[in-house]
Amino acid sequence: MNSLSLLNSQQKEAVTTTQGPVLILAGAGSGKTQVIIQRIAYLIRKKQIPPQQILAVTFTNKATEEMRERLKGILSGKQNGVHLSTFHALGVNMLRKSIHHLGYRPNFIIYDKNDQLSVIKTIMEDRDFDDTGLIDAKSVHFEISQSKSIGEGPEVFLDQQESQQKQMIGKIYRQYQKTMKGCNAIDFDDILNLTLSLFEKHPEVMDNLTERFRYIMVDEYQDTNRIQYKLLRHLTKQHRNLCVVGDDDQSIYGWRGADVRNIFDFEQDYPEVKYVRLEQNYRSTQIILQAANQVISENTQRMPKKLWSEKQGGVKLEWLQSESEAEEVEGVTRKIRTKILQHGNRYLDFSILYRSNFQSRSLEEALRESRIPYRVVGGASFYDRLEIRDALAYLKVIHNPNDEVSLHRIINTPRRGIGKTALVQANACCHEMHLPLFKVMLRARKYEKIPKNAAFTMEMFAGIIINYQQRFANERFANVFKELLDEVGYIRFLETQRGEPKLRERRVKNVLELLSGIRTYSDKNPEDSLRQYLERITLFTENDNDA
């Protein structure tokens, strides 16, 4: 069967319009993912476009994998070569090949939010920043991230600020960038900014990329920021085959830099744009859509569209307006009890959504009082757990010994006799000799400031790292990782920690689960290196936690 026959007329138009810029305004539940999949298939099957010339960008790894599986299902191998990626994974791929032009080494590490906060806190503890009492590290991190999301470096940030507090944040920002580069580390925001720098400062290096991708598609376009918009402009400078799919009505990430103007202003940079509106909704009833259309119509700054559905009828919407929070949660629990007792519903038929985490407290109390069983979805990510961060820090230092955040994390975990005093003296030697900490550790006994016993232990520990660097380069890294954990005694360390036995047991199980995951990854990707594994973990957690 011709797959186009399964599409409505607007979807078919979106799929078959392949030349020049296309802006697909896709309302919620209108089948936009299906359109992107069918468009890629149409380019390959009907237009005979080589898959290697097609780039499809999504915002989460989950969406990328879903798209990959669906393409596999309809193209049966012909999709091989299509580049499916998040913006950040695409950026990292470019940086690995060309970041040396910007003064970094190719084995750079990507710091997550916790790593970044560690760097910021260390800077704020320095005597040169003793006026930071009224600033907390999280606020500094937020300001730095916001500045980077619009492409502003520390000097631009400083030039635009007048208050003493913002000037101090700017100075911390400047030192933060210097420290990061010294560690050969970049953060999540740097990925796109540095990629853009390569395009702007070294266009000859990036020409092969702009020549390779001749057909570019972007999902969730309303969530792009100005840096991503500029990257797309560079990628399409030799052609105009850019297809973006988005919905200004679903733009909710302005707080993290998403700029809905990328939709509104698209026609300015691409005046020949073809607009396609996907307005038929396949998810909801017409009753729900009528209410949604009425609510969103109050937004005066939007692209005109009106969702409709063939699903007529359905349960009418109910609106509960309460005088207080207590009255509201009582109304919610009463409604659940009524539905269960009078209509035969089950507890698992209900979901409660709330805007902020703090709002769950009153809801949970009311549910418990009503003896309604519930489960809160969310909580700490697996990769944010203390023991997982410790274990991954070992891998990060083996990959990049200049990663001082990870090195400080593991240098005395488990305890090996390198105390705070010894570490302060070692860091003093680093400043005097202009050397990274790991290089000082390699020859620690030659520095008189460092206590002899601690110096010997530092050299021993550095030797372990060097040994495992060689082993990870030449052996199956899942097996090597287990031996590393045994040699440094990390599992034993967890087993002998104070506290609840169940907590100790859970932490050990978490590390064993990490090990199992590494084995699975290694089996599926036998050619991949430690670098590729760490890269995948960082991009996976950062992209999908934000989604």
Q: Could you list the pLDDT tens digit for every one of the 547 residues in the chain?
A: 467 888 999 999 999 999 999 999 999 999 999 999 999 999 999 999 999 999 999 988 889 999 999 998 888 877 789 999 999 999 999 999 999 999 999 999 999 999 999 999 999 987 677 665 668 899 999 999 999 999 999 999 999 888 888 899 999 999 999 999 999 999 999 999 999 999 999 988 888 778 889 999 999 999 999 999 999 999 998 889 999 999 999 988 887 788 999 999 999 999 999 999 999 999 999 999 999 999 999 988 899 899 999 999 888 899 999 998 889 999 999 999 999 998 889 999 999 998 877 788 788 888 988 999 998 887 566 888 899 999 999 999 999 999 999 999 999 999 999 999 999 999 999 999 999 999 999 999 999 999 999 999 999 999 999 999 999 999 988 889 999 999 999 999 999 988 888 889 989 999 999 999 899 888 888 889 999 999 988 887 776 655 5
CA torsion sign for 50, 54, 60, 63 is: negative
Angstrom CA distances, 119 to 5, 140, 177, 387, 396, stand at 56, 11, 10, 20, 16
* CATH 3.40.50.300 domain span(s) along the chain: 3-92+194-284
Secondary structure letter of residue 99 according to DSSP: G
Token pair of 265 as six digits: 């202003």
Contact 542, 89 (CB under 8 A): no
Dihedrals phi, psi of 7, to nearest 5 degrees: -100, 150
CA dist., res. 373 & res. 364, Å (int)? 10
Angle, helix 137-149 to helix 164-182, in steps of 10 degrees:
80
pLDDT value, residue 326: 87
Contact 148, 193 (CB under 8 A): yes
Token pair of 78 as six digits: 């012909």
Q: Give 443's Cβ-side CA count (13 Å radius).
A: 9
Residues 6 or more apart in contact with residue 509 via CB below 8 angstroms: none
Dihedrals phi, psi of 280, to nearest 5 degrees: -80, 125
pLDDT value, residue 279: 96
Place of tokens 């499916």: 84
- 111-183 CATH: 1.10.10.160
Find the Cα–Cα–Cα–Cα dihedral 257, 259, 260, 266, rounded to 10°. -150
CA dist., res. 10 & res. 343, Å (int)? 40
Q: Which CATH class is domain 3-92+194-284?
A: alpha beta
Q: In what order do the strands lie in the sheet with 215-218?
A: 83-86, 54-58, 215-218, 242-246, 22-26, 274-278
CA dist., res. 371 & res. 72, Å (int)? 47
* CATH 1.10.10.160 domain span(s) along the chain: 111-183
Contact 337, 309 (CB under 8 A): no
pLDDT value, residue 1: 47
Angle, helix 188-201 to helix 87-98, in steps of 10 degrees:
60
Q: Which amino acid is at 42?
A: Y
Place of tokens 């300015």: 268
pLDDT value, residue 75: 86
Contact 264, 248 (CB under 8 A): yes
Token pair of 73 as six digits: 């299902």
CA dist., res. 130 & res. 235, Å (int)? 45
Angstrom CA distances, 139 to 123, 136, 162, 170, stand at 14, 6, 17, 12
Q: Residue 134, class by beta-carbon neighbours within 10 Å (0-12 exposed, 13-18 middle, 19+ buried)?
A: exposed
For the whole model, what pTM was predicted? 0.81
pLDDT value, residue 127: 66
Q: How many CB atoms lie within 10 A of CB 238?
A: 12
Angstrom CA distances, 218 to 31, 83, 229, 376, 435, stand at 15, 12, 10, 33, 43
pLDDT value, residue 422: 94
Q: Which CATH class is domain 382-546?
A: mainly alpha
Q: Say whether the peptide bond before residue 414 is cis (omega within 30 degrees of 0).
A: yes
CA dist., res. 237 & res. 534, Å (int)? 33
CA dist., res. 100 & res. 191, Å (int)? 14
Token pair of 249 as six digits: 């009505």
Q: Residue 352, class by beta-carbon neighbours within 10 Å (0-12 exposed, 13-18 middle, 19+ buried)?
A: middle
Which conformational region is residue 378 in: left (phi greater than 0), alpha (psi within -120 to 50 degrees), or beta?
left
